A = this chain, B = another copy of it.
Amino acid sequence: MYDSVIQDLIDELGRLPGIGPKSAQRIAFHLLDADPEDVRRFASVLTEVKATVHFCATCGNVTVDPECRICADPRRDATVLCVVEESKDVVAIERTREFRGRYHVLGGAISPIAGIGPDQLRIKELLGRLQDGVVTEVIIATDPNLEGEATATYLIRMLSTLGVAVSKLASGLPVGGDLEYADELTLGRAFEGRTSIPQAAAPG
């Protein structure tokens, strides 16, 4: 229907996650209409990103430097390690400004359906980082879904013999949400993980 190079562009766009055929066509025509300089810049960023971005040798986060900015930052607490699935989880946690330790990016989660077992994840590298005894606490921050929970369970079992403190992010009601709209699993977790309120001293 289209000239082949236009169809090629629509096809390439349609391969991106979350972009259906209609969106791909819409974006393609947007690019056809766009300033050639803008499209050239987009193409060169694509090329540059693949040429310069790699995974941090220490934590597995994406970086353009030999070591990522967090691993290279001496002000970050080297005794606490937060284990996440993906680099974007690092960004999400950094945004909270709650965590001053370092990260370990697994590169995914255990998923028998997708054929991903512990060997496909950066778990060997995690064990390597725990050898010298500097790290005293590991916080597991995998996704709160089936694969993430399976990965957390695997890691908790593996880490239990190493003498480091292990914790896992709290499950519960999302802040700003309505209790009535919470699914039963989330609500169940919120009950399980309820926090006790210290009693105030009796007045008088």
Q: Can you name the residue of chain B whose Cβ is closest to the Cβ of A37?
A: B50
What CA separation (Å) do A59 and B147 show in the bound complex?
54
Give the interface segment out of A11-19, A137-145, A171-179. A11-19
Does A63 have its Cβ within 8 Å of any Cβ on chain B? yes
Interface residues in A1-42 (C-beta closer than 8 Å to B): 1-6, 8-9, 12, 15-19, 23, 25-32, 36, 38-42
B5 touches A45 (CB 8 A): yes
What CA separation (Å) do A44 and B42 show in the bound complex?
11
Give 19 CB contacts A-B under 8 Å. A1-B94, A1-B95, A3-B53, A3-B63, A5-B45, A6-B53, A6-B64, A9-B46, A9-B49, A16-B27, A18-B26, A19-B27, A25-B91, A32-B50, A32-B87, A39-B50, A43-B44, A43-B46, A46-B46
Residues of chain A at the chain B interface (Cβ within 8 Å): 1-6, 8-9, 12, 15-19, 23, 25-32, 36, 38-50, 52-53, 62-65, 69, 86-88, 91, 94-95
